[in-house]
Chains A and B, each alone.
Chain A
Amino acid sequence: MSKYLLNKFLFTVDRDPELLERYLADPAGFVPWWEAEWANRILGCHEGEASTWLAFDDRERTALVEHDYVTLFEMGAHPFLALTLFIGMYERSYDEPLGFQLEYARKLSHITLPHPDIAT
């Protein structure tokens, strides 16, 4: 399991409006594409240099395809990265201010302290 790679997915998609819309519209197509194109990019390096060893496991891939932020939380993905990206995708669908944020909290209400370890 790679919390780092989950975070890298959330980080790179959240900061790019085009990637965010693609992930919202077609997660089953987008997640394998991102894994092939982005997982091994070293973000601070020249584009010609890359890593060779980063990949999701099946559980991670499924959670990302299903927009399953509860499982992402349980796996130790960084809560701030997940929250920001999912607000960016879903807040627009709620009429009430903070409607999505409060539903997000409710779906995590079974979580007790200590929370899953987020260290990478």
Chain B
Amino acid sequence: MAEVVAVVASTHHPFYYKASTAPPEQRPPFADEWVSKILSFRETLTRAEPDVLVMVGSDHFHQLWLDNMPQFLVGKAPYYDANFYNEEREFGLPRMLLRGDEDLSLHLLRNGLDAGFDLAFSNELRIDHSITCPIITLRPEADLPIVPVYTNIFAPPLPQPSRFVALGRAIRDMVESWESDLRVAIVGTGHLSLELGGPRQFGPHGPDPEFDARAVEWISKGDIAGALGEVTLDSLWSPGNATHGFMDFMLMMGVAGDDNPADYVDSLDLFHTMEAYFTWYPQGVPA
């Protein structure tokens, strides 16, 4: 059976690429610390030596649209083009092409459907910065095949937080029952408190540092019960109008397991939103 060699959860900050690649005179003052933290975080995935990446993220109204909006969708394609014109325009993100692993995609779809998750699928999916940001930060060679899993954290009505956790648990079980000798890393990105297009956007910190502190504690301890006890679809409006992206972190907590503390935790207080980085090693910390 396949092995889950790393579970990685992260924010996805689309400005990282520009901040880290700009000429020295144009780099923002926080760029060096940010790059240093990303290089350490990258090492946590590298040392797990994965062969394939399951990538959890959320389309930002790029390919998925309100006339036909899936709640949870698994890509099943041999290749995924990546990044869109408005992401080039606003963030300077490069166009990319990633390979897919259709066998693992089919395994997740078949077993997910049989486990009660009515997963949508796509045979032609162009992925956006929720998945390419962690490729850029964690695996810039972009050399591993991926299976994208998209969640709807953006277009209400949304699934409940408990459903994200349940899908995370199911993804972990399904990967571990995949008849393969490949080493799989499950990588997902979400948000801490975040405001987009509202009065609290682009402040010197995230819009709700107290929520961020609680969120980092829930994730780093694997405190799923604590998170589910406080987080609701209604409550997530208060920390910031785009904070429903925290449910992707809750999905990743489901992947990592109840009360399973992360093996690696780091964060960086930035303008607009806090960055946070977590890695778990289900097989033990690699030597």
Contacts and interface: CB of A to CB of B under 8 A. Distances in A.
Which bracket fits the contact residues of B?
A: 20 to 34
Interface residues of A, number: 39
Given A101-B202, A111-B199, A115-B198, A80 B85 contact: no
Given A17-B85, A88-B90, A113-B237, A44 B198 contact: no
A15 B84 contact: yes
24 contacts: A8-B66, A11-B61, A11-B65, A15-B62, A16-B85, A44-B68, A73-B197, A79-B197, A80-B196, A80-B197, A81-B197, A82-B197, A83-B201, A84-B90, A87-B90, A88-B86, A88-B90, A101-B202, A102-B202, A105-B198, A105-B200, A105-B201, A109-B199, A114-B237
B229 interface: no
A120 B237 contact: no
Interface string A76-106: 0011111110011001000001100110110
A69 B199 CA distance: 12
B199 A84 contact: no
A74 to B, nearest CB: 11
Contacts of A113: 237-238
Interface in B40-91: 60-62, 65-68, 84-86, 89-90
User: 10 nearest interchain CB pairs?
Assistant: A79-B197, A83-B197, A108-B199, A119-B156, A101-B202, A80-B196, A109-B199, A111-B199, A105-B201, A82-B197
B2 interface: no
B211 interface: no
A104 B241 contact: no
A78 B85 CA distance: 19
A74 B238 CA distance: 17
B154 interface: yes
B157 interface: yes
A36 interface: no
B170 to A, nearest CB: 27
Contacts of B199: 105, 108-111
Contacts of A78: 61, 155, 197
A83 B196 contact: yes
A42 interface: yes
